[in-house]
Amino acid sequence: MANLTSNQSLYRFLRKQIEEQIVTEDDQLIFDAFLKNDIQHACQPIRDIFDDDIEYQHLTIRYGSEDENNVYKYDLSEEFSYCLDLFSLIIALRQAQFQTETFHPDLINSVVLPIRAEALLWGPGKTMLEQVARFHKKIFLHVILSLQLDCSTVSKEDAEMLVQLIRGKDEDNPFPVWIEINNPSANLQYVPSLKPDMLKISVPMATKEDRSAFLPIMRFLRQQKTKWVAGRVASQAELNQYKLLGASLYFGYLTDLPNPLSFQSYEKKKEDFWS
């Protein structure tokens, strides 16, 4: 395989992979949307929980008429869904590129991308990550991968290898790695050994049952003393709870309603217009 040194080559690599992984009817539906540039992305600011200053941008991909439509809710085959994770990585790179070309360096907020560890351990996913880290380092500096990881399904050895790959070879200036917890019952056994720079918690707190389910995570956070982000905050009451529990940052739907957007599609333009 030729090196993926250009942005266009990353897209061509992904396009080939995603077309080869079509299994279900919904795979075909989402692939057609991919070709038509109907899969959008949305960014929400991640704010300091005390002064509300914007520190990062949280990026997700969307599809459908509703603003919050999750593209992963469809009946997707496993490896096809991994391709969507890789597509979101390309979009995150483009968002970071847009910021570096548009804003003063002091105004650039790194893009935080939730992505499954399994997608990056999958052969094509690992290849893309290696190519991005090697040939797109300047922009990748402005992207933070927030790994969705369950220690029951990903071995410690694989997780450590993946984190090392993301951090890079420069031990004095490693790329940051976040770990995402979006399931109260997730196995977090070896997460401390990965030494994440941040934990992102996306667990509901609306009901008494939700808060009870959150207790094991809270105990884990207090034991590790790692900074953490409260995700998907739905109300001022929840925000106040997270403050008391020790969150450093937050994002959600209080005031920062995301507007889905689309970048220009490569299907319509042959040259590499965001190199």
Model confidence at 116, in pLDDT bands (50, 70, 90)? very high
Helix %, strand %, coil % of the chain (to 5): 45, 20, 35
- Which residue type sits at 35? L
State which fold the 7-264 domain adopts. Answer: TIM Barrel (3.20.20)
Lowest mean pLDDT among 6-20, 85-99, 138-152, 202-216: 202-216
Model confidence at 64, in pLDDT bands (50, 70, 90)? confident
Lowest mean pLDDT among 1-10, 40-49, 95-104, 116-125: 1-10
**Strand ranges in the chain using DSSP code E only, listed in sequence order:** 40-48, 54-62, 110-116, 143-148, 177-181, 198-201, 228-233, 249-252
Helix (H, G, I), strand (E, B) or coil at 59: strand
pLDDT for residue 268 is more than 80: no
- Taken as a whole, the chain contains a residue count of 275
Contact 53, 106 (CB under 8 A): no
When pLDDT is averaged across residues 64-87 and rounded to a whole number, the result is: 87
The distance from CA 46 to its chain's CA centroid, rounded to whole angstroms, is: 13
Model confidence at 273, in pLDDT bands (50, 70, 90)? very low
pLDDT digits (tens, 9 = 90+) for 170-217: 877 789 999 999 888 888 999 999 999 999 998 888 788 888 888 889
Phi and psi, residue 111, nearest 5°? -90, 120
